[in-house]
Amino acid sequence: MNLTPRTQLLIGLALALLMAMTRGQHFATLNLPSASWAVFFLAGVLLKPRWVFAGLFVEASLLDFAAIQWAGVSAWCMSPAYWMLLPAYASLWLGGRLYAGWQRDRASSLAVLAATVAVSALVCYLFSGGGFLYFSGRYPEPTLALLAERIGLYYPRYLGSLALYVGLTALLYSAARACSFAPRRVAGQ
């Protein structure tokens, strides 16, 4: 996928705005599902500079801290486990990077995309949900059985939100590619 630097800049700004608008409904009046996981995955697919990952992680953290400080959002998730979001989001970003290398403009790429999204999301949840379970101090006796229960409860919802945003992006990408391959009319014909 060869995107111009200008296109990458616009995509990066759109992804940052999408995360700001949907992250935990802290600030936006829209009730959209969180796009944070999708933002990290899509940044891995669409944006070449590696520093983008760090920038998005800083944005996510600032949004969370601001929501707690000024918007009255509960600090329940703020614990030493918060830093497990770093490898969690990195797994999504890395999954996106891997998919970018595998992606071809063929329908068969959709199966690769679906598998990459599902595996990346599972690894992300193991770091984020598992990290919270084991390192937050909120659960006195965390067990693998409890982790499995939480995966069954929360992973489908997170995967669904991720799939929604990645699917919409795939549709937009396909439409843009179709338009760029469409024959152009020449004046006077």
User: Domain extents for the chain?
Assistant: 5-181
d(CA 93, CA 70): 29
DSSP secondary structure, 32-82, as one string: PPP-HHHHHHHHHHH---THHHHHHHHHHHHHHHHHHHHS----TT-SGGG
**CB-count burial class (<10 Å; 0-12, 13-18, 19+) for 77:** middle
- Over the chain (189 residues), the average pLDDT of each successive run of 10 is 84 93 64 90 94 95 80 66 93 97 86 96 95 86 93 94 94 81 55
Cβ atoms of 23 and 36 closer than 8 Å: yes
Please name the residues in contact with 18: beta carbons below 8 A apart, sequence gap of 6 or more.
Answer: 35, 38, 39, 165
Which 8-state DSSP code applies to residue 187? Answer: T
Q: Quick one: pLDDT at residue 184?
A: 53
Q: Quick one: pLDDT at residue 53?
A: 96
Q: Quick one: pLDDT at residue 44?
A: 96
